[in-house]
Structure 1
Amino acid sequence: MKGIVVSSNDRQLQVHTLGPAGTNCEAAAHYYLEQHHHKQGRVLLYGTLENAVDGVMTNPADSVLLGCVVYPKLNEIVFRNLKSMSLHECFMMPTHRMVLAARDRSRIRTVVSHPAPVDLIEDLGYDIRLVTSNATAALECSTGGADACITTSVAAEANNLEVIEDFGPVQMGFSIHVPHGTTL
């Protein structure tokens, strides 16, 4: 791609992506750093990918944005930022196991979910409330914000939630966006 030069992998590349801890994007960011031999790389987590774009632009020389191809409005992130960054590459990897999890197995009425995996339960009659990430769903559920959540197995475990249904990992695409002039 124009404006992107391959250089030494010894510098500290910053991968800005969706958080909090336990998201599939966080796992993909670590995978990306490992696959590209960035031993000094760092993963920075944000409440939304839109906020992560702002983080990338504060230090564009050493930063990339990692997105998930099913992230709502990824198209807007791409096209709103064409003057400052471009899509550099995409890769595939399996997500963490996706699960329906709850504080306990009592009657489930309300479920929090990121918009991407909501179809796993949409036709089951739950009152569904959308949140910004799978890990945020687990946090909200663990603090009583809902009876259950669709989340990753990692976030469910970190928040002491009981897995009600395990949908398994999903083969997923992740995108890397770089500011113009960035050297990778």
Structure 2
Amino acid sequence: MPRIRTPCLVPDGRRYYNDLLPLPLNEEVLDSVSRNVDHAQARLGRTIMVENPSGYMTLDGTTLREGDFLARLCARTGCRILLDVNNLHISATNIGTDIAAWFDDVPVDAIGQYHLAGHEPDAAGSGLLIDTHGAAVADTVWDLFARSVVRFGPKPTIVEWDSAIPPLKTLFEEARRARRVVTVAYP
């Protein structure tokens, strides 16, 4: 049976990394990822969603915009996109991802779910935003979430908070805010 290699389980010959790592977005990688998604969906007997990662660098060999890459992946495989709104904001800030182009590239029906999370500036002072899942959702991400709902419609939404877990009351407040954003953006 062929091994499934995904961006979050990338071997370097000695170990696997447990974080989403960048890929050069080009035709060769699109072919490879498409084969892996097809294989995974066939083995699972169901459609999967592929998440957009946080961008910290653009790799040499990249010839496609992320939105175009994901849209083409969906068209080839029938998979859908788990739009991590925080990751899209981080990518726009860190590497200049054009959000308007991303929205134009991705078909409305490709989005299956939204993720919201917190981020923090890099402790080393590099100017990068780091996807930590350990802080409240930033106002800029709430604004982008509202734009996403206007563009793609309401979808199941998860607020991720994996570290520095706050009191339950705070988590409920984030969930209520997500519901309010959807209600206002998509009446």
Is TM-score (shorter-chain normalized) higher than 0.5?
no
More strand by share: 1
> Which of 1 and 2 has higher RCO (CA within 8 Å, sep 6+)?
1
TM-score (structure 2 length as normaliser): 0.29
